[in-house]
Structure 1
Amino acid sequence: MIQLFSESWAFVCPKFFSTRDFNYPSITVSNLHATPVTVTRTVTNVGSPHASYVARVKQPAGVLVSVEPTKLVFNAVGEKQSFKVILKPKTATTNLTVFVFGALVWSDGQHFVRSPIYIAVSSFEK
């Protein structure tokens, strides 16, 4: 079956993986505690050969979200670039789990590329 989607049979399934590692547009963290979580994504330029996109974040309630780098500069169509999203709870929560939502939007001023952010913040002691 893998050969239908791949040029070889050389694919080996990993023994352990995290859904955080999937290169999906959406960002989901199912159990955010006091320790920050970093998610990496890779994007491909399908627009203008020379394009610059700036990151803007709609912060989920109670979570600090930062993006590194905050600007992606593409010089060719098909060029790939990676960025990191760091998620950290602002304060301890007394609830068992709180679900919060936000978004990361990359824009060149004319186009907007939106990645929804879904986080389950679990209680922890400060």
Structure 2
Amino acid sequence: MAKATVKAKAPASKASAAKSKPTAAKPKAAESKWLKTILHSLNEMKAEDTVVIDLSDKSSIGETMVVTTGRSNVHLASIADRVVKDLKASGMTGIAVEGLRQGDWVVIDTGSVLVHVFRPEVRSFYGIESMWSA
């Protein structure tokens, strides 16, 4: 299966910023540790089409958003479980998880990094990347 990759493209100008793709985050030291742990977990679990979005100038809900895809409900739940397990093993506390029972869209909130794990059709339907890249 496809290896998780970080897609990033910085806008060339203010005019193109509205139509730009999500940009890679410039995380702080502690956030960088958590982000690296998250991306490693996603890669190990073979999550697909992983995108990192910098929210620092866009929202107070977090500094960084990670959006990724799982192939099925079981794969999605396994990805979320692994991310949480690895974050806790790295020393993070206070992790909130929503959506595991439904299995279409799981959100992992670490306080500074939000991780959205979608099934492919749900990700397409909501288009969360385009919502946050403007």
TM range (shorter): under 0.3
Kindly indicate whether structure 1 or structure 2 has the higher relative contact order, using CA contacts under 8 Å at least 6 residues apart: 1
Normalised TM-score (structure 1): 0.27
| Higher strand proportion (structure 1 or 2) | 1
Structure with a larger share of its residues in helix: 2
